[in-house]
Amino acid sequence: MATTVISSHRVLLADGEFHAARLEIAHGHIRSISPLGRHESPTTDLTLVPGFIDLQVNGIGDVDVWSTARASDAVAWGRINNLLLDQGVTSWCPTLVTAPLEWYSSAISFLSQQKPDTYLPHVIGVHLEGPYLGTAFGAHRAQYVREPDLQWLTNVADNIALMTLGAEVIGAPEACALLASRGCVISVGHSRPTRQQFNACVQAGVSLVTHLFNAMSGVHHRDPGLATWALTDDRVYASLIADGVHVDPEVIALAFAAKPRQIVLVTDAVAWRAGSAGKVQLALRDGVPRLEDGTLAGSSVTMPEALKICVGQANVSVAQAVMAASAHPANVMGLADRGRLQGGYVANIVGLTDDLEVSAVWMSGQRVR
C-alpha cells in the first residue's frame, strides 16, 4: 500500500494536546500515528491541526451562497470553495438565510446536487437559518419569518443538514421532532423563548444554539435567557462568532470557561464585498457588515482570524480554539470521520504558522495549498 508521511514537532492529536508526531496516510485517510523519532527530521515546521469545519457560511468576499444557488452558478460555487480552502476550511455548511418560501426548493436542489470533490471542501449539507425564526430577527427580513410548515419541512428535510429555528414559535417542538426523525441537526437561534419552550425543543432533538449572545435573550442575574441556558445546559453546543465585535473578547473567554468542550466557532461570513446576503443589502462599517440602520448582518471574519482573536485577545489556548473549529462542530454534526487527527479519519490537515496564519492545507492527504 502506497503511503505518505506528514510530520511535525507540533501536531494537535485527538487528546487535545500537541505532540511531536508522524502521520502515515494511505487512501486519503490517516492510517497510523506514531511519535516522531528523536533524530527524525519533520516534513514541516508548521503546526499541524485538523481541517476547520464551518457550520455557518452565507458567503465570502464577493460570492453569496443564496445568489449562487438561485442562479445555479457553477463558477461562483467553485470560487467560494476555493476561498474556503485558502482559510483552512475543509468542511462546511452553505447557509441560506430567511427568504420567501418559494425560493428554497431550487436553491436547496442546486446545493445538494453538487458532486463531491476529494480536493475541495466537503459539503456537510445545507444549513437553513430561517424562515422559522423567533422574535429576535436580527438582520433577517421580518416579513418572511413564519411559523413552521410541517409538510414543507417533510419535503425538504432529506436535503437539510442543519436548521436554525426559534423555540418560541408555534409548532417548534413538532418541527424539531420531525427534523430529528429525518437526521437533521437542530439549533435554536434568533429566539427569546421561555425556559419551558427551550426545554421542549431540546427534548424534541435540539443540540445546538446559533451564534451565542447574538439575536437571543441573554445573561441577566434576575432574568436568565437563551444565552444563559446555552452556557449551562450540557445537552447543547453553542456556536460563537469570534470576531471581537459580535462578542467581546472578555465574553468569548467567559463562553470557553463555561463550555470548554462545547463551543463551536462559526464565521457567519457574508458576501460583504458584494453588498448583500441574498436580498439583504449590507455594507462594511467599522470592519463589520451592517444593515443601513447599523444592525449587524453576518461577519467578514475568517476562521484563522477567529482563532487569533480567541488566542490573542480572549486568552483561550491554541488547542482549545482549534478544537472549537474542528472537533466540536464535527461532534455536533455527527461526523465520525473528520475533525480530529486520529487513525482512520480523513486526512484533512491545516498547517499553521506560529502566528496562526494558514500556510498549508491537505485534503485527503494531498496538499492543495
- By annotation, the residues acting in catalysis are 268
| One-letter-per-residue 3-state SS of the chain | CCCEEEEEEEEECCCCCEEEEEEEEECCEEEEEEECCCCCCCCCCCEEEECEEEEEECEECCEEHHHHHHCCCHHHHHHHHHHHHHCCEEEEEEEEECCCHHHHHHHHHHHHCCCCCCCCCEECCEEEECCCCCCCCCCCCHHHCCCCCHHHHHHHHHHEEEEEECCCCCCHHHHHHHHHHCCCEEEECCECCCHHHHHHHHHCCEEEECCCCCCECCCCCCCCCHHHHHHHCCCCEEEEECCCCCCCHHHHHHHHHHCCCCEEEECCECECCCCEECCEECEEECCEEECCCCCECCECCCHHHHHHHHHHCCCCCHHHHHHHCCHHHHHHHCCCCCCCCCCCCECCEEEECCCCCEEEEEECCEECC
Cβ-contact 69, 107 below 8 angstroms: yes
Dihedral angle over CA of 176, 177, 182, 183, nearest 10: 70
Residue located via cell numbers 461577519: 299
Sort residue 114 into left (φ over 0), alpha (ψ -120 to 50) or beta: beta
* 255 touches 226 (CB < 8 A): no
